[in-house]
Amino acid sequence: MSITESDNTPDLPEKVSRNLPAAAVILERCDKLASLSSMPDAICRTYLSREHGLANEMVSGWLTEAGMTASIDAAGNVFGRYAPAGQDTFLVLGSHLDTVPDAGRYDGILGVLSGIAVVDQLARSGTELPFGIEVVGFGEEEGVRFGTTLMCSRAFAGTWDSSWLALTDESGTTLESALETFGMDPQRVGEAARSPDQLEGYLELHIEQGPVLEAEDLPVGIVTGIAGAQRLLVTWTGTAAHAGTTPMDLRRDALAAAARGVEFVERTALALGIVATVGQLVAEPGGMNVVPGRVTMSLDVRSVDAELMEQGKQEILAGLSRIAADRGISMDVQPVHAADPVACAEHMRQAVASAINGLTAPVFELPSGAGHDAMAVATVCDVGMIFIRCAAGLSHNPGESVSHTDVAWGLAALHDTVLHLAENKARDSR
């Protein structure tokens, strides 16, 4: 259990303290799901594994208990549907149930379980809604088993790629045969696709996986969008030479140039308000007594603003070229990966803001530097995200931790966001 505060924490808004019991249930359920693991002393649950099937079963039980009709779609995603008045459009709440190896117990899982808790409350209070609600536990987000991320949310969004069927896992099992073993028809995964006119939107609660909310001393935040990323490999080529006999002014030192480059990357990112990282720097030949002749340097540039990300990339590459030219070094750039940023829908951000405002908490917006299912779902409907604080920003790590009260905050925010979206929809259709 990760409950760190007592249930009677003083000076919590009433709406939040009312959610403490439900938050305690969520934390217990996170622990139960954590026991479904392929690693004996750690958490690991990958797409279409035996543990994935067991997690779907466990979650189906909770969906049913909360008054929903549970089902598994053609991609192996688990769904619960709540439509007491026969509603035919749906607001979808959820996240993913798979994990990285040696994972924490909240990444993704918390969003699925919070969705179930919200429906449970709406069903108990008999709240009338102008749309139905679906809760989803996507089977794959992390890309661990087959090396491709967001496969399940892409199936939902209608962008499943059938060429993925040939992908293999570590043991050589193809995605096609893994689907068959799981009881799915590989040729029919495309049927998991939803039609946009059936969807009101997708709302995902997730741990922040970063340190910002903790630094701001806030339990919850509104996600503005999910950052896009550009990844490149920059190769600096100079001349490897004797470290004793080559005078300083006659060197073409690739590493000295790259070092300037790293500093320039940091300065440019700070000036533009984006993030840019050099995560790898390999100097060759790598002798203590050799002037480095060649350096391979990775560059990762991200922003929620597509134009700013492109501007950042261009400014950085222009600066690196100048540094290289000044030192007689040649430079080569190879793109490795590019993903566009995804914005959270304005009306969903506002609904989350109204909810948080109603809880008397400061409304704080932040971008997501990590990818999420919402990224894939955004191609089929509007998306919104709520972040909750996690200790030290730690994630993809068994030390991942959330507090009981923060889960109650997140739950209250999610519940009230649903109510605001419902009010807006009812008002717009009047």
- CB within 8 Å of 187: residues ≥ 6 apart: none
Residue 96 · residue 137 · CB < 8 Å: yes
* Residue 400 is a binding residue for Zn ion (CB under 5 A): no
The pairing of strands 90-96 and 199-207 is parallel
Q: Which lies closer to Zn ion via its Cβ, residue 260 or residue 396?
A: 396
Residues 109-148 that bind Zn ion (CB under 5 A): none
Least distance between Zn ion and beta carbon 70 (Å): 22
Q: Which residue is nearest to Zn ion (CB)?
A: 108
Q: Which lies closer to Zn ion via its Cβ, residue 107 or residue 253?
A: 107
Q: Which lies closer to Zn ion via its Cβ, residue 149 or residue 296?
A: 149
Q: Which lies closer to Zn ion via its Cβ, residue 315 or residue 373?
A: 373
Least distance between Zn ion and beta carbon 110 (Å): 9
**x/- track of binding to Zn ion for residues 77-116 (CB under 5 A):** ------------------------------xx--------
Residue 136's H or E segment, with its range, is: strand 132-138
Distance between CA atoms of 429 and 166, rounded to whole angstroms?
Answer: 46
Least distance between Zn ion and beta carbon 367 (Å): 15
**x/- track of binding to Zn ion for residues 223-262 (CB under 5 A):** ----------------------------------------
Q: Which lies closer to Zn ion via its Cβ, residue 107 or residue 134?
A: 107
Least distance between Zn ion and beta carbon 343 (Å): 19
Nearest in space to 356 (alpha carbons), one of 223, 160, 262: 223
Q: Which lies closer to Zn ion via its Cβ, residue 20 or residue 103?
A: 103
Least distance between Zn ion and beta carbon 111 (Å): 8
Q: Which lies closer to Zn ion via its Cβ, residue 108 or residue 201?
A: 108
Least distance between Zn ion and beta carbon 200 (Å): 22
Q: CB atoms < 10 A from the CB of 169, how many?
A: 18
- CB within 8 Å of 265: residues ≥ 6 apart: 276, 277, 278, 299, 316, 320
User: Site for Zn ion (CB under 5 A): how many residues?
Assistant: 2
Residue 168 · residue 146 · CB < 8 Å: yes
Tokens of residue 72, six digits: 């598994």
Residue 77 · residue 158 · CB < 8 Å: no
Q: Which lies closer to Zn ion via its Cβ, residue 58 or residue 103?
A: 103
Counting beta carbons within 10 angstroms of the beta carbon of residue 370, is it exposed (0 to 12), middle (13 to 18) or buried (19 or more)? middle
Q: Which lies closer to Zn ion via its Cβ, residue 67 or residue 393?
A: 393
Least distance between Zn ion and beta carbon 140 (Å): 11
Nearest in space to 398 (alpha carbons), one of 17, 28, 109, 44: 44
Least distance between Zn ion and beta carbon 37 (Å): 16
Tokens of residue 273, six digits: 């308000």
Distance between CA atoms of 80 and 71, rounded to whole angstroms?
Answer: 6
Least distance between Zn ion and beta carbon 59 (Å): 16
Backbone φ, ψ for residue 281 (5° rounding): -145, 110
Residue 385's H or E segment, with its range, is: strand 383-388
Nearest in space to 118 (alpha carbons), one of 389, 363, 386: 386
> For binding to Zn ion (CB under 5 A), which residues are involved?
107-108
